[in-house]
Amino acid sequence: MDLADLFDLEEIRLVESSFEELTDESLLAQLLSGSNEARLLIDDDETPLAMAREDHGWKVVSFLWKEPSDALIEMLPKLDIKAYSCTIDAYREAICDHFCRRMMSECQPALDDLPEDRIKKVSDLIWKEWHFKPGDLCYDCCCGSGVGSQALVKVGLRPFAFDVDRELLCRGIEKGRLQTWNTARIDASQASRYLDRAPFALMLMAGDINLVNAWTWQRIFEQVLELADDVMVTVASEEEAEMLRSWAEGKGRPARVFENIRDAFYDHWVCSVTCVPNEDDLGLF
């Protein structure tokens, strides 16, 4: 659903200019000015999701990952407010769609160089390695142009994709491998600030990992470990996969490394990480 439709408006201007600005509390001050006409979007529990205020056009500020400021709360009784409701999932999808459409209007998609058989190879790998239920959520981390997301859909998993590269995201959306409502431009090293934990996370072709950039990849990988119970990362070499395994085990997560004979180039080596079962899972006290 279009973000403006949630407020029953034809057009809105979102104060936050990027997905990552949804945590910026300083932007709340922009709603302290304007006319007395306002609209409040709430979820099923009446928790505020966003607020719109007329100010030579409707401006909207999001309350995802930030709460209304004291100054804004004190002003509410003075405003003529209409309330609208939707589920938090519908709101999040509308936010993703809003930013993706803006991104598509501002950048040129990257060139496409996807081999015809790669999606099948990735989906075969997922089928073999994971036990999942149809509709389980899986993050497509550092998704590029959406190879992982399309493979996840093929096997029945529900993807949410993110990457920091706008051109690759635009290519994936243009090709239909990525969808605007479940894709976000997020720095993977900050991903756990925005995303809840999920059963699965996939990160394809996470190289080149070397001694120079290892600290950056370790930070990203540890963020991915925070996001999911079962994590699978593909790299070009065994050395890179072993590096990932050492980082996972350093966080107390069991991991194994194996060669993926389906693909000798893109996803040749795999580091597969599982969650540590708690005492309840083991039947212990």
Give the tens place of pLDDT for each residue, 233-262: 999 999 999 999 999 999 999 999 999 999
DSSP code of residue 34: S
- Of the candidates 243, 251, 248, 230, the one whose C-alpha atom is nearest the C-alpha of residue 269 is 243
Q: What is the pLDDT at residue 278?
A: 53
In the structure encoding, which two tokens stand for residue 219, read together?
């930070």
Judged by average pLDDT, the poorest of 9-13, 110-114, 195-199, 244-248 is 110-114
Q: Is the distance from CB of 81 to CB of 39 less than 8 angstroms?
A: yes
Q: Is the distance from CB of 172 to CB of 149 less than 8 angstroms?
A: yes
Give the tens place of pLDDT for each residue, 18-63: 999 999 999 999 999 999 999 999 999 999 999 999 999 999 999 9
- Sorted by where each starts, the structural domains of the chain and their CATH numbers stand as 3-106 (no CATH), 118-282 (3.40.50.150)
What mean pLDDT do residues 265-276 have?
93
Give the tens place of pLDDT for each residue, 116-128: 899 999 999 999 9
Residue 281, pLDDT > 70, answer no
DSSP lists the bridge partners of residue 259 as 269
Q: What is the pLDDT at residue 206?
A: 85
Q: What is the pLDDT at residue 113?
A: 78
Angle at Cα 273 formed by Cα 185 and Cα 242, nearest 5°? 95
Task: Please give the C-alpha separations between residue 241 and each of 31, 237, 245, in angstroms, as whole numbers.
Answer: 48, 7, 6
- Of the candidates 55, 23, 26, 60, the one whose C-alpha atom is nearest the C-alpha of residue 40 is 60
Looking at 46-152, which runs of residues are DSSP E strands? 48-54, 58-62, 80-85, 137-141
Q: What is the pLDDT at residue 204?
A: 97
Residue 285, pLDDT > 60, answer no
Give the strand pairing for 198-203 and 228-235. parallel
3-state SS of 226-285 is: HHEEEEEEEECCHHHHHHHHHHHHHCCCCEEEEECCCCCCCCCEEEEECCCCCHHHHCCC
What mean pLDDT do residues 76-83 have?
96
- pTM higher than the cut 0.85: yes
What mean pLDDT do residues 66-93 have?
95
Q: Quickly state the pLDDT bin for 277 (edges 50, 70, 90).
A: low
Instruction: Give every strand in the sheet of 158-163, ordered side by side.
Output: 183-185, 158-163, 137-141, 198-203, 228-235, 269-273, 255-259
- Of the candidates 58, 80, 63, 74, the one whose C-alpha atom is nearest the C-alpha of residue 21 is 63
Length reported for the chain: 285
Residue 280, pLDDT > 60, answer no
Give the tens place of pLDDT for each residue, 138-196: 999 999 999 999 999 999 999 999 999 999 999 999 999 999 999 999 999 999 999 99
Q: What is the pLDDT at residue 34?
A: 96
Helix ranges (H only) for 131-233 are 147-155, 166-175, 214-227
Buried b (16+ CB within 10 A) or exposed e, 68-106: bbeebeebeeebeeeebebeeeebbbbbbbbbbeebeee
Buried b (16+ CB within 10 A) or exposed e, 166-196: bbbbbbbbeeebbbbbbbbbbebbebeebbe
Q: What is the pLDDT at residue 264?
A: 87
Q: What is the pLDDT at residue 68?
A: 93
Q: Is the distance from CB of 265 to CB of 236 less than 8 angstroms?
A: yes
Q: What is the pLDDT at residue 163?
A: 97
